[in-house]
Structure formats: structure tokens, C-alpha cells
Copies of this chain bind each other. A is one copy, B any other.
Amino acid sequence: MDRRRTEKNDETSAQGRPTLKTLAFMTGLGVTTVSRALKDAPEIGAETRRRVQLVAKQIGYRPNRAGVRLRTGKTNVISLVLNTEHELMSFVSDIIYGVTSVIADTPYHLIVTPYSRSQDPMDPVRYLVETGSADGIIISRTQPDDARARYLLERGIPFATHGRTDMGLVHPYHDFDNYAFANEAVRYLAGMGRQRFALLAPPVGLTYHGHTVNGFADALSEVGVSEVPFNTVTIDQSIEQIRTRTAQLMRRNDRPDGIVSSAAASTLAIVAGIEDAGLELGRDVDVVSKQSSEFLHLFRRELFVVNESFRLAGSELARAVLGWIGGAEPGSLQSLSKPGEVQVYRR
């Protein structure tokens, strides 16, 4: 159906929402002038500018996104690309809140672009670029050699990664210092007299797996304690797999007496596994875990935790992308969040 107004050449514009044409008619100016007045162009007289802006405010003019997008290619959209299967629950909500809090007083909208386990992580990114659906992109599950980052860098599309890459290319990112986390966790436990350490690491392939493993290994050798490997189990595995594997581990003679866990949900499974093996948290073994929201202390108050804020990650990432879109140097839009103190709840 054709939405054209009944009057062919209407200047009445009583109906529908106001456009530049409406403003032009109301102010008696040309559409061009109105357009420029609204964006503070210098060749518009100061009074005209004020007048136009006043009227625009009064009648609640909002630029039509489709018009702008068609004409300029600017979408005013930031896309958050998420893995539907793997992302941690709190990750998604917190990061969205972080992003939206930054985006709130800008014309940007946030669209969520999902991809599933089976898909190539490049698919959603390629889709966004090929269809020109976003001005900026936020990606997570970053890899050391990340095809998506390379691709986006090649086409000059502003983006930010949650986690760093390691390809010698510079781009905005936000990351949590997982090296420091794992390192300090080991030192903390060693300081309590713990000797044999296990690490439940992030999935192999993601950059922060390396960071975590390195921080862990370096601390082990620095304080002179040994490792009991978790083998192939990572925080990406199911609760049941982690629980079973932990129980196995805890039944060995050389079982760990200190465990470092990279995710709060996995820590629940670890503790369950410990107790399945008939051992007691805080007596037979201590656990330091990352968490992104304050709830582990309710679970077992013997747990030691380090907080990682995904809300902060979301806002930093949004700031980074907007910064890049706004012309800032990509290299200046990188941030690394340091872990706080290990927190104790036991009393």
C-alpha cells in the first residue's frame, strides 16, 4: 500500500510525524537550510539556527533513521555478536547493560546478532559487514589469531573485542587481566600453605585461556608448588562434566589442595565434585574463583573470590567502538581491567 498523503503536495503536515519538510514549512525556510541549521552548520545565520532548533524541539522532531541511513550509509547501530550456546549467562545480561548504559544518550541502537555453536564465528560478522547493518561491532570469545578482527580491520569497520588478540594488529579491546588473576590466586592459596594446584581454565583457543594458563604456571614455578592438571576440561564444559572430572581428580592420592576456577558457574560444579569425593571445602582443599556477580559467598562461605565486572566490560567496549567511529585512534581505545583483592567471606 502506498503511504503517500492524500494531498499530493501537502504543506499542511498536521498528520504523521514531523520531517524536515514540516520544519521547513513552519519556519518558512528551505529543507536544506533546516537540515543544516539542525547540525549547526556555520553558513546558517545564528538567529535562524536558534529559531529552527527551537521549533524542532517544540514539535519533537526526530530525524528519520531510514532517511539518514539511505542517504549517508550511517546506521546508528552497534551490533553485539554473541555465541548462543557458550556465553555465560551473566555475561550476556551484564554486558548488554554496560553497552546500553553508554549508548543511552546517543542516537545508537543496540542490535544483538547471534550465532550458534555449529556456525563459523565469521558468519554473523560477514553478514553485518555485507549488509552494512552496523556502524560498529562488538565481538567476544576473542582468539589470538582472530579471523573476525582481521576481516574487520581489512574493511575498516570499527569494532572492539572483548579480550585481546595476538596478531600484531592494533584495535580497540577491553580485557580482564586473567594473567594477574590466576597468578594472584595461586599465590594466595600458596600463602595459606596449599601445595598442589589445579586450574579450571577457559576454553583452549580463546586468548584468555593462554593468559590464564600462563599466570597460573608462572605463579606455580615462582612459589615452587606443583600442578595437578584438569586436562581437557574447561569452563565451557557442562556442569556435570566438570563435577565428574573434579570428583575423579579429588579421589587421587596426589589430589589438588588448591583449585583456581575461571568461572563462577563452574565453581559450583567443582565444589559439588569435591563433596562427591567426600572431601570438605576449606579443610581438604581451597578454591579461588572468579565471579561476575556477588553470589558465591552465599553458596559456600569458604570460597575465595575475585570479581570481574562484565558491566564494566560492556561499557568500555561500547565506549571503544563509539570512540573509533568518532575518529579516535584505535590504539588509544584499549583497556585492561586489573583484578581486585582476593575476597574472603569465611568467618
A residues with CB within 8 A of B? 3, 17, 60, 62, 64-67, 69-70, 72-73, 75, 77, 82, 84, 87, 89-94, 96-97, 100-101, 104, 109-114, 130-133, 239, 243, 265, 268-269, 271-272, 293-295, 298-299
Contacts and interface: CB of A to CB of B under 8 A. Distances in A.
Contact of A100 (B93, B114, B133): B114
Contacts of A69: 65-66, 69
A72 B1 CA distance: 8
A1 B69 CA distance: 13
Contacts of A268: 295, 298-299
A301 to B, nearest CB: 9
A101 B93 CA distance: 17
Contact of A92 (B92, B269, B272): B92
A299 B282 CA distance: 16
Nearest to A90: B89
Contacts of A113: 109
A62 B132 CA distance: 11
Contacts of A90: 89, 93
B293 A272 contact: no
Contact of A70 (B66, B73, B295): B66
A17 B132 CA distance: 9
28 contacts: A60-B130, A65-B69, A65-B131, A66-B66, A66-B69, A66-B70, A66-B75, A67-B70, A69-B69, A77-B111, A84-B100, A84-B101, A89-B94, A90-B93, A93-B93, A96-B96, A96-B112, A96-B114, A100-B112, A100-B114, A101-B114, A110-B111, A111-B112, A239-B294, A243-B298, A268-B298, A269-B298, A299-B299
Contacts of A3: 72-73
A322 to B, nearest CB: 16
Given A3-B72, A65-B69, A84-B101, 18 more contacts: A3-B73, A17-B131, A17-B132, A65-B133, A66-B69, A66-B70, A66-B75, A67-B70, A84-B97, A91-B93, A92-B92, A92-B96, A109-B111, A112-B112, A239-B295, A265-B295, A269-B298, A299-B299
Contacts of A89: 89-90, 93-94, 293
A113 B243 CA distance: 38
Nearest to A298: B268
B92 A130 contact: no
A94 B265 CA distance: 15
A133 B109 contact: yes
B130 A17 contact: yes
A271 B70 CA distance: 56
Contact of A111 (B93, B111, B114): B111
